[in-house]
Amino acid sequence: MHAQKLEYTGEVAKATASIYEKLSRQYKESHWQSLAPYIHEINRLKKEKNATILAHNYMTPDIFYGVADITGDSLRLAQEAAKTSANIIVQCGVHFMAETSKILCPEKKVLMPDLKAGCSLADSITAEDIRQLKKQHPGIPVITYVNTSAEVKAESDVCCTSSNALKIVEALGREGHDTVIMTPDKFLAMNVAAQTKIKVLFWEGTCVVHERFTAKDVKDIRKANGDVVVLAHPECPPEVIAESDYSGSTAQMDDYIKKHQPPKAVLMTECSMSDNIAAANPGVEMIGTCQMCPYMKMITLPKILQTLRDETPEVLVDPAISKRAKKAIDRMLELS
């Protein structure tokens, strides 16, 4: 389909006014006028095609507040994908999230605005690596972070996300395991290990975004902003978690801010998360130390519109792999 020029008309202004009211601190009016026509057209097409947009907390505010139907962390997006009655899912996030939706809803069309939006953790481990780990440690269960390919999940015993990792480890402990293997994020594994008596063996994967934060960053932020509350994602190194006031998944950090409304807060995580929280919590001053995820930032409004119009690119998972990966995801959903 040919690209059509989208204009900021009176109709667009009226239809998007309530969204801009929330985002006026994030976008200057001239910038907003270039975004609003996309938002309007995407929302029209979504209705026409009975499509739903699942957007991760790291999406930019124009996507997060403008076109998303469901927002959240990896766990919530997976749970909502499993429940949706839409014909089409447009996954605004990274590739493993779209694969998870396809595995949970094989009969639905799952679209992704850019198939190149990957993840350094997913790239750090293969299905063969898991088979080798199992050979080296027979009988020890493998817990695999959802930030992995369908093939890797298919070889694993159970999945976890950053919000339920400790719960899953403890649940396996109650089943009689005194040791577990957590792949592929070594920092998530080390941070979980610090909270449990169960021995956690880990893989050497890291997130390119969270590995960059240091304990010195936290100390410097505290020096410059006396009463700031520091929240850190569990993909950060343990020294960062030790210096922080709270650690949790993206949704858990969001809940913390909503509930406690600290005067000043800093999130040791991806940048858009702070922007989205700032828009919803005008009384909280978000301090701007953050890191950009190059993969998440590949998702933009023009790409979402094109994907929805052309119904491509579609994310497909081999049915045999999907069936085995689903077992590991279902087990996680049951345990959490």
Q: Where on the chain is the footprint of ligand 13P (CB under 6 A)?
A: 57, 73-74, 147, 161-162, 207, 233, 235, 249-250
Site membership for ligand SF4, residue 147 (CB under 6 A): yes
Binds ligand SF4 by CB under 6 A, chosen from 209, 271, 299, 329:
209
Of 125, 134, 126, 289, nearest in space to 207 by CA: 125
The 8 Å CB, 24+ separation contacts for 305-310 are 305/38, 305/41, 305/42, 305/45, 306/3, 306/113, 307/90, 307/111, 307/112, 307/113, 308/42, 308/45, 308/46, 308/49, 308/51, 308/88, 308/90, 308/111, 309/1, 309/45, 310/1
Query: Smallest gap, in angstroms, from Cβ of residue 56 to ligand 13P?
Result: 6
DSSP 285: E
Query: Smallest gap, in angstroms, from Cβ of residue 237 to ligand SF4?
Result: 13
Site membership for ligand SF4, residue 125 (CB under 6 A): no
Pairing state between β 158-160 and 199-202: unpaired
CB-nearer residue toward ligand SF4: 49 or 212:
212
∠ CA 131-137-142, nearest 5°, is 60
> Scanning the structure block, which residue is given the tokens 């998870």?
100
Site membership for ligand SF4, residue 228 (CB under 6 A): no
Give the Cβ contact number of residue 315 at 10 Å. 20
Query: Smallest gap, in angstroms, from Cβ of residue 57 to ligand 13P?
Result: 6
Of 207, 255, 257, 260, nearest in space to 234 by CA: 207
CA atoms within 13 A on the CB side of 31: 9
Q: CA-CA distance, 119 to 81, in Å (whole number)?
A: 20
Query: Smallest gap, in angstroms, from Cβ of residue 270 to ligand SF4?
Result: 5
CB-nearer residue toward ligand SF4: 26 or 249:
249
Binds ligand SF4 by CB under 6 A, chosen from 63, 171, 207, 267:
207
Interface segment toward ligand SF4; rule CB under 6 A; list 61-69, 224-232, 274-282, 291-299: 291-299
∠ CA 240-58-231, nearest 5°, is 30
Q: Which does 287 bind (CB under 5 to 8 A by kind): ligand 13P, ligand SF4, none?
A: none
CB-nearer residue toward ligand SF4: 123 or 129:
123
Q: The tokens of 121 are what? A: 């953790």
How many residues form the binding site for ligand SF4 (CB under 6 A)? 13
The backbone torsions φ and ψ at residue 89, rounded to the nearest 5 degrees and listed phi first, read: -110, 125
Site membership for ligand SF4, residue 120 (CB under 6 A): yes
Query: Smallest gap, in angstroms, from Cβ of residue 57 to ligand SF4?
Result: 10
Helix 10-23, helix 29-49: angle, nearest 10: 110
CB-nearer residue toward ligand SF4: 16 or 161:
161
Query: Smallest gap, in angstroms, from Cβ of residue 207 to ligand 13P?
Result: 5
* DSSP-assigned states of every residue in 133-155: HHHHSTTPPEEEESSS-HHHHHT
CB-nearer residue toward ligand SF4: 129 or 170:
129
Query: Smallest gap, in angstroms, from Cβ of residue 253 to ligand 13P?
Result: 8
Query: Smallest gap, in angstroms, from Cβ of residue 147 to ligand SF4?
Result: 5
Q: Is the Cβ–Cβ distance between 94 and 302 less than 8 Å? A: no
The total number of residues shown for the chain amounts to 336
Site membership for ligand SF4, residue 94 (CB under 6 A): yes
Binds ligand SF4 by CB under 6 A, chosen from 193, 270, 275, 278:
270
Binds ligand SF4 by CB under 6 A, chosen from 45, 190, 201, 208:
208
Return residues touching ligand SF4 (CB under 6 A). 94, 119-121, 147, 207-209, 235, 270, 293, 295-296
